[in-house]
Structure 1
């Protein structure tokens, strides 16, 4: 178990546990997209981004091949990032509305972004084995953040299902039957261990192009969930 968030982030970037993901992320970094042909791709696991003592955590799915896998920062350099960061800025969770590259000055405000899988997967679809192999990083992250964490926003049903076992392993009680994902879902989880506070879990559709281009997820819809989560995080015990 990592002792600090800095150690966790450093160890994540050196992980080679999943052969298929290692091969894919490195192939993408070598072949590149034509529009980014002059850039040096990150091509490694992408660590979480934001302060380790944040009260709010945003959980996605996995880095995008030409987004996080290119830039080295979670939700940076692709259209999902454009949509998400604009909504986070509107909700008061970031200092700017764009996330283009790792040195663009973006800061998250009392918020951290992570994912159940830290390598870009083919077709944006990690296998169950890859998800389970990567879970130890998420469990470590949740454990380290436990003294501060008050709310989580999960982007999409896949992330929701991946997060629940990690929450159980890191000290929160998961009701039975398990809470079901839905856009706008809100569940309060009770602590199962010391040094944990009740945790508010929110669900929203993932800001993928499939959802944002079709209007299934609008900026107003995402902003509303983020504002609710921020309010829950702010109102929780210090």
Structure 2
């Protein structure tokens, strides 16, 4: 198997050799629902083998590697959510990059999208370092938690609907565990916007009857119990978007500055 074994000493590996492994969508749903803490949930996420196509792809990439990273050991496993266990701000993306999170073991780490994202999070006070290069590099999120709709790197960055649905319980349960403190959910890109909507509802959030169209800066009022919250849209800091100027550093900073304003206006209970 071309991936880091659980409990091998990889920095920040949430799993142990005895962490239970999901081999299909039914087992994902059961293991997610039975996870009582973020630590237990992320450990189980990080060893999932429910989607054969994604397992084969992530491990092939970890074996073949990109020439620039030929001397590195790739993570080659699902990339779990990480950050504050009681966040006021959640950041949801699509999936790990084949030579980014699939290599480094941390979502949005080690690729161009992550370079833009973490620089903005640092400038706006949501991260302690400007860069994120590898799990265990000292990076830490401040009052924020980051996760993906799909936890394995997909071929061509396009998970199938079946793979998205199989991964849904991981996202829903992570949202549910973070819900009591969460006041803002930032969806990075249209796919995350679509995926997080039913997951928020499943996690216990109250949503408007219809999902508004995705857009940069779109705000949707939601709630968890009596606590008000906001779903906030943000263009994905992909290479295509940043190279063409569709996303600028100022645009990202404005989103995360707004997220902090909203989170402060509705402090955790």
TM-score where L is the length of structure 1: 0.96
1:237 Cα offset (Å): 3.3
Distance 1:32 1:181 in 2: 34
Length, aligned pairs only: 235
Distance 2:228 2:55 in 1: 37
Q: Map residues 45-60 of structure 1 onto 2, 5 A cutoff.
A: 45-60=78-93
1:199 Cα offset (Å): 1.7
Q: Counterpart of 1:41?
A: 74
Q: Counterpart of 1:225?
A: 255
Structure 1 gaps of 5+ residues are: none
Structure 2 gaps of 5+ residues are: 1-32
1:197 Cα offset (Å): 2.0
Q: Confirm or deny that 1:157 pairs with 2:190.
A: yes
Distance 1:81 1:190 in 2: 29
Q: Counterpart of 1:18?
A: 51
Match of 1:105 among 138, 141, 144: 138
Q: Map residues 73-88 of structure 1 onto 2, 5 A cutoff.
A: 73-88=106-121
Match of 2:62 among 29, 47, 57: 29
Q: Counterpart of 2:177?
A: 144
Q: Counterpart of 1:6?
A: 39
1:14 Cα offset (Å): 1.1
Distance 1:199 1:129 in 2: 30
Q: Confirm or deny that 1:208 pairs with 2:238.
A: yes
Q: Confirm or deny that 1:173 pairs with 2:173.
A: no
1:145 Cα offset (Å): 0.7
Q: Counterpart of 1:116?
A: 149
Residue-by-residue CA offset, 1:48-94 (whole Å, 9 max, x unaligned): 11011111010011000000000001111011000000011111100
Distance 1:52 1:188 in 2: 23
Query: Does the Cα contact within 8 Å between 2:223 and 2:230 map onto a contact in 1?
Result: no
Matched position secondary structure for 2:244: coil
Q: Which runs of 4+ in 1 moved over 3 A?
A: none
Distance 1:32 1:223 in 2: 33
Distance 1:190 1:55 in 2: 13
Matched position secondary structure for 1:213: helix
Residue-by-residue CA offset, 1:149-191 (whole Å, 9 max, x unaligned): 1101110001000000001111112222212210110111133
TM-score where L is the length of structure 2: 0.85
1:101 Cα offset (Å): 1.1
Query: Does the Cα contact within 8 Å between 2:172 and 2:199 map onto a contact in 1?
Result: yes
Distance 2:80 2:162 in 1: 20
